[in-house]
A = this chain, B = another copy of it.
């Protein structure tokens, strides 16, 4: 397998000041794998759902060449449900409910065909489970991982242990500050590099993303969107676009990591243009390339 994706698969209920969507398919593994599917057709997904999860979404994943051998479907079980509400500026949200359901007993079992995966992308799940996954894979070329405040607060020691085995950590600005216990973002990024990762990517929402490698910083803007519909999954879409491009090109040079950040930003920018996965499930390579090139125009300046 080229890219192994492990994370949550969920049914989300999302409220924005302008609209509401109930029980729409979501979860980090779903966003990551759909986003990455435009780059590689060799993806293995590991996760869990109940038998209430829509069959057409599962069929859609399969049609993208995503191998679902690792997706446990629990008979009579209920899929993980999350509800959240965005505030007027769309930058802050509150969680309305979290029903773990079948996810509460999730123990990722990596099918033997997936164990030799070259690239691994760990969605935001318990760092203990992330570590369990890494113990089962043989010798991945690159491990990409996400986390969140919930785990930083509750499982800091376990997270630090997992970080030792992560090559690329993708977090948002608040999470980076929290992990490093340092308010300055650049200093925070550099501190995280000392905890294990070779690369840190800090997502700043509408302000873009920063890639920090020892000695190098790359800044990418967010694509200017005049009408954000729903920010849910933007971070996971970023990770999926990033991981997908790396898996497609099999090149982890700094130059290519920069490109991967732009591909991540590209998919994330599509994601927020509609609710849930509605936009990212209907992309095309041409649309992706067009927006990738728009980033060049957005960032371009010439020395005389």
Contacts and interface: CB of A to CB of B under 8 A. Distances in A.
A186 B304 contact: no
Contacts of A88: 183
A301 B224 contact: no
B302 A293 contact: no
A108 B88 CA distance: 42
This chain's copy number in the assembly: 2
A191 B37 CA distance: 38
A259 B304 contact: yes
Contacts of A225: 186
B221 A301 contact: no
A292 B301 CA distance: 11
In this complex, the interface size class of chain A, counting residues with CB under 8 Å from chain B, is 35 or more
A187 B225 CA distance: 9
Chain A's interface: helix, strand, loop or mixed, by majority? mixed
A281 interface: no
A226 interface: yes
Interface in A89-112: 89
A258 B300 CA distance: 8
Interface in A178-220: 183-187, 204, 206-208, 210, 216-220
A303 interface: yes
A302 B297 CA distance: 12
A284 interface: no
A208 B226 contact: no
A262 interface: yes
Which of A184, A216, A219, A225 has the most C-beta atoms of chain B within 10 angstroms of its own C-beta?
A219
A164 interface: no
A218 B258 CA distance: 18
A224 B298 contact: no
Interface in A285-304: 292-293, 296-304
Question: What are the 8 closest A-B residue pairs judged by CB atoms, nearest first?
Answer: A219-B221, A207-B207, A258-B301, A186-B224, A299-B299, A187-B226, A219-B298, A186-B226
24 contacts: A88-B183, A89-B183, A184-B227, A185-B224, A186-B224, A186-B225, A186-B226, A204-B207, A207-B207, A208-B221, A216-B297, A217-B298, A218-B299, A219-B221, A219-B298, A220-B301, A221-B221, A255-B302, A258-B300, A258-B302, A261-B301, A292-B303, A293-B303, A299-B301
